[in-house]
Amino acid sequence: AQKITQTQPGMFVQEKEAVTLDCTYDTSDPSYGLFWYKQPSSGEMIFLIYQGSYDQQNATEGRYSLNFQKARKSANLVISASQLGDSAMYFCGGGSNYKLTFGKGTLLTVNP
């Protein structure tokens, strides 16, 4: 089973600046995936980015990038050029065969 740790209950960032949300994982599985989701106050889970354990390069999706450091077992999400609409809960999830364990989440607030 995978354990996911998000140590930042809340983060603040100024609009147009970059922010990094931390995520560490612990697993004994040789093959696994790491995901980031955004959950606005409306409650839906919006997929942002995925990193497979065997992927050689860090994943990027538009303003989102994943800083994957396998030796440190970290998969931090970097949001560049923050927008007011980025204010939401962010969950890191990981697991094998897509059975995901999620961290406790980070509440990101973007200030104008």
Partner 1 sequence: SAVISQKPSRDICQRGTSLTIQCQVDSQVTMMFWYRQQPGQSLTLIATANQGSEATYESGFVIDKFPISRPNLTFSTLTVSNMSPEDSSIYLCSARTGTANSPLHFGNGTRLTVT
Sites of contact with partner 1 (CB under 8 A): 35, 37, 43-45, 47, 50, 52, 91, 93, 97-105
Nearer to partner 1, 45 or 78 (CB): 45
Q: How far apart are CA 106 and CA 64, in angstroms?
A: 15
Dihedral of the alpha carbons of 33, 51, 91, 69, in degrees to the nearest 10: 100
Nearer to partner 1, 56 or 97 (CB): 97
Task: Give the bridge partners for 29, in sequence order.
Answer: none
For 42-47, the CB contacts below 8 A with 24+ separation are 45/91
Rounded least distance, CB 112 to partner 1, Å: 26
Rounded least distance, CB 16 to partner 1, Å: 27
Nearer to partner 1, 44 or 112 (CB): 44
